Amino acid sequence: MAAVHVCHIAQMCMEVKRGIERQTTRGSGRPLKVLVAPAYVIAHQCFALRLLGWLDDLLASSVDYRRILSDILYHGKVRDFIR
């Protein structure tokens, strides 16, 4: 399970990280793993999720789009389709 805590200043993020690690060490002896990620990484992840959602909707709407994508993924190019 993951939780997201947003800070705007790197020093503040590191203080929050240390506080979380300190609080979670008390009972179990082993702190939770806390990662501090730059905002641009999170922004890229959000964009990738939106793009995948759009691609899923597009592929659900047409057999031809699915065929074109599978050709690109499997063969590296789009082949001509003879019907």
Instruction: Please write the tens of the pLDDT for every residue from 7-60.
Output: 678 888 888 888 888 888 876 678 888 888 888 898 999 999 999 999 999 999
Q: Residue 48's pLDDT is what?
A: 96
Segments forming the whole domain that contains residue 41? 37-83
Same domain flag for 81 and 41: yes
> Does pLDDT of 68 surpass 60?
yes
Q: Is the same domain home to 59 and 71?
A: yes
Mean pLDDT of the chain: 83
Q: Virtual CA dihedral for 19, 23, 28, 29, nearest 10 degrees?
A: 50
Claim to verify: residue 41 and residue 71 sit in the same structural domain:
yes
Residue 36: the pLDDT is: 87
